Amino acid sequence: MSESTETITELLQSIGIDTAYRTASLSLLEKGDSRYLRDLKLNFTSTLTSEHLSTKECALLGLSVAVNNNNNPLIAFYTKYATEQGANDAEIAEAAACASLLASNNIFYRFRHFTQKEKYSQIPARIRMQIMMKPVTGKEFFELMSLTISAVNGCEMCVNAHEDSLIKLNTTEERIFDAIRIASLVTSAGAIIN
């Protein structure tokens, strides 16, 4: 077994996927004996823990990003991991709901930002957002999930608004930075494992 195949096997085992599983992207890395496979494995592993987030929070952030990216293997992994870290069904559902809500918000507010027309800012959004009022994961963590999804989706206006809310909620910049780091690495893994 080549070193690349061995690294892929370890990565797939850690995600709970059959070691014979291959995507076109994963096959390209394996065929080219890419050194990146080791980085991919280590980066993915680093999404599971943080100095500034609990393991349950890491799992819920990973789940929310996997739902946002419509990545079924990672949704299954992070759902299981979140449960193992003490997340209940309502918290897991909220991570998925946050991804869905922010998908609409990011498109809507990004459009307003791109056009910069006052008229569009005056027309009511008519997007239901009741989940933001009393989230089961708490206001601060829901804002953190919202920020990560907004960053993944590239909505500058939303990123700035959620980061500002988090600072006002006394969230440390290190905590915010770690959440974004995790989101970027879940997205990176999902580009190869999908």
Give dist(CA 166, CA 116) in Å, integer: 25
Cβ burial, residue 122 (10 Å; 0-12/13-18/19+): exposed
Q: Is the dihedral of CA 66, 72, 77, 78 positive or negative?
A: positive
Chain segment 123-132, per-residue pLDDT in tens: 888 888 788 8
Cβ burial, residue 83 (10 Å; 0-12/13-18/19+): middle
**End-to-end CA gap in the chain:** 23
pTM comes to: 0.94
Read off the DSSP letter of residue 20.
Answer: T
- In sequence order, what DSSP letters do the residues of 117-181 get, joined into one string? -HHHHHS------GGGTS-TT-HHHHHHHHHHHHHHHT-HHHHHHHHHHHHHTT--HHHHHHHHH
> What pLDDT is recorded for position 61?
98
Catalytic entry in 102, 158, 183, 193? 158
pLDDT-derived band at 43 (thresholds 50, 70, 90) equals: very high
What tokens appear for 40 in the block?
């991919």
Please say if 58 is a catalytic residue.
no
Chain segment 148-180, per-residue pLDDT in tens: 999 999 999 999 999 999 999 999 999 999 999
Chain segment 131-152, per-residue pLDDT in tens: 888 999 999 999 999 999 999 9
Catalytic entry in 155, 183, 186, 192? 155
pLDDT-derived band at 109 (thresholds 50, 70, 90) equals: confident
Structural domains of the chain, with CATH: 1-45 (no CATH), 51-189 (1.20.1290.10)
pLDDT-derived band at 79 (thresholds 50, 70, 90) equals: very high
* Weakest mean pLDDT among 49-63, 85-99, 128-142: 128-142
pLDDT-derived band at 15 (thresholds 50, 70, 90) equals: very high
